Amino acid sequence: MTIEWHYTIHPDLGVLSLAGHLGPEAVARFAGAICWVLPRGTGPVILDLTELRGWSVGGQMAVAQAARQLAQAGRHLELAAIPADGSLVPDGTHPPIPVHCDLPAALTAHRAMVGGQRPWCGDEWPEKRTAATKRLM
């Protein structure tokens, strides 16, 4: 099983939402999503894990690598709604990664506006699409 991803640009931040399981077979797809996100938007990237069913140690390492990659580009990574089966274990080689209990809390922390956003998603993203997403399709 792999992951699906959905990216939304808010003013001064981006939200990368994942669905599925971030295991060894999904790490390359996740790394590709991070590469795709890097030049789009500004400010922090909130990794929304609300729809993620779980992650392996390799998946957690990929998240740590994403934090390093974003930091090199002048952005930083934050997590929202980490999976119940574990938390990101810091390995000391990545920048600090703030963790929010859920996406609304992360957005509130940044006072992100709901309007003015631009979403992108893969073909198989779960059907919880917003009206803005449906208009773009």
- pTM value > 0.85: no
Nearest to 44 by CA among 67, 26, 61: 67
Contacts of 37 (CB under 8 A, 6+ apart): 7, 14, 16, 45
DSSP state of 39: T
Domain 3-136 of CATH type 3.30.565.10 = no
How far, in Å, CA of 77 to CA of 44, rounded? 6
In tens digits, the chain (137 residues) has pLDDT values of 689 999 999 888 999 999 999 999 999 999 999 999 999 988 999 999 999 999 998 999 999 999 999 999 999 999 999 987 556 665 677 788 999 999 999 999 987 555 555 566 666 766 554 444 444 43
Alpha carbon 37 to its chain's center: 9
Total residues belonging to the chain: 137
